[in-house]
């Protein structure tokens, strides 16, 4: 009798355990079904992101081609401005790559696997290219700085030379010549002596030369400031871009492994 009670008790416990397992499985299955129902719209949205990313990458490629056609290498101004455009527009390919890589390998077409592997490897190449832009940017900054100063100096010296020539000619001109010159032009001294007019013109030339010097210094400061601002912005931007592309390459090892 005791043995029968024990067997019945064990049977009831076994049935209760099986019932608990079934309820647990049903509960987890229900949760999983709800989760799949929630994820499904996200997967469909990821597909839209991916195609948007591919489109943005193609547009960025067209912009890059436009930058380098026609090329003008060894021209410091062209190289410097092209570097600036590459840095300023780096956000588009970065966002595009983020869209393309979203969802990793979920719901990928077969043709995407080699594309993802190639894209992952290209990010390392792009990271290296951006880091190489930094010494080029510094070198072109120095070249443009010297070129700009030389141009400003040349323009200043030319105008100063013209003013000095006029001043020299005027100093060698006699009061009679000044009187005759004014009369030939239909003017009048208005009771003033030719010497006073000569001194007035020389004084105005002296002021003009001082203004030329002030303008030269202002232009030098303005050009230098703008050049340094762009140089710092674009060189630091190139460094940040290189780091970001390197991080993408490092974090997309899964794409390279899948293709190998």
The domain segmentation of the chain, as residue ranges, is 12-150+222-259
Alpha helices in 68-111 (DSSP H): 76-88, 91-101
Sequence-distant (≥ 6) Cβ neighbours of residue 101 within 8 angstroms:
53, 116, 119, 248, 252, 255
pLDDT in tens, 131-182: 999 999 999 999 999 999 999 999 999 998 998 898 888 777 777 777 676 6
Per-residue pLDDT averaged across 220-236, rounded? Answer: 96
Tell me what pLDDT residue 66 has: 95
Cα distances (angstroms) measured from residue 2 to each of 6, 9, 156: 6, 11, 119
Asked if 255 and 119 touch (Cβ cutoff 8 Å), the reply is yes
pLDDT in tens, 73-87: 999 999 999 999 999
Which is nearest to 83 in space by CA: 64, 98, 70, 62? 64
Per-residue pLDDT averaged across 1-5, rounded? Answer: 53
Asked if 93 and 57 touch (Cβ cutoff 8 Å), the reply is yes
Which is nearest to 100 in space by CA: 150, 35, 131, 56? 56
pLDDT in tens, 36-73: 444 455 566 788 889 999 999 999 999 999 999 999 99
Residue 122, CB half-sphere, CA atoms under 13 Å: how many? 11
Is the pLDDT at 217 greater than 70, yes or no? yes
Asked if 175 and 108 touch (Cβ cutoff 8 Å), the reply is no
Tell me what pLDDT residue 122 has: 96
Burial of 135 (0-12, 13-18, 19+ CB in 10 A): exposed
Tell me what pLDDT residue 23 has: 58
Tell me what pLDDT residue 79 has: 96
């Amino acid at each position: 009798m005791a043995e029968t009670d024990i067997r019945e008790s064990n049977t009831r416990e076994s049935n209760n355990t099986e019932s608990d397992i079934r309820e647990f499985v049903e509960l987890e299955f229900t949760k999983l079904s709800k989760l799949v129902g929630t994820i499904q719209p996200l997967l469909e949205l990821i597909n839209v992101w991916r195609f948007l990313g591919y489109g943005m990458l193609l547009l960025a490629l067209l912009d890059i081609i436009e930058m380098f056609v026609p090329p003008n290498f060894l021209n410091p101004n062209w190289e410097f401005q092209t570097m600036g455009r590459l840095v300023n527009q780096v956000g588009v390919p970065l966002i595009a790559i983020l869209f393309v890589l979203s969802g990793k390998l979920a719901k990928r077409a077969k043709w995407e696997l080699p594309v993802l592997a190639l894209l992952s490897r290209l990010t390392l190449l792009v990271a290296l290219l951006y880091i190489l832009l930094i010494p080029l940017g510094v070198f072109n900054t120095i070249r443009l700085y010297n070129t700009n100063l030389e141009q400003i100096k040349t323009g200043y010296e030319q105008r100063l030379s013209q003013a000095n020539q006029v001043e020299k000619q005027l100093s060698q001109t006699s009061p009679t010549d000044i009187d005759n010159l004014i009369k030939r032009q239909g003017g009048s001294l208005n009771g003033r002596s030719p010497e006073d007019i000569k001194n007035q013109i020389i004084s105005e030339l002296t002021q003009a030369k001082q203004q030329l010097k002030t303008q030269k210094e202002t232009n030098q400061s303005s050009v230098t400031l703008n050049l340094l601002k762009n140089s710092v912005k674009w060189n630091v931007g190139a460094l940040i871009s290189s780091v970001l592309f390197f991080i993408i390459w490092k974090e997309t090892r899964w794409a390279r492994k899948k293709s190998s």
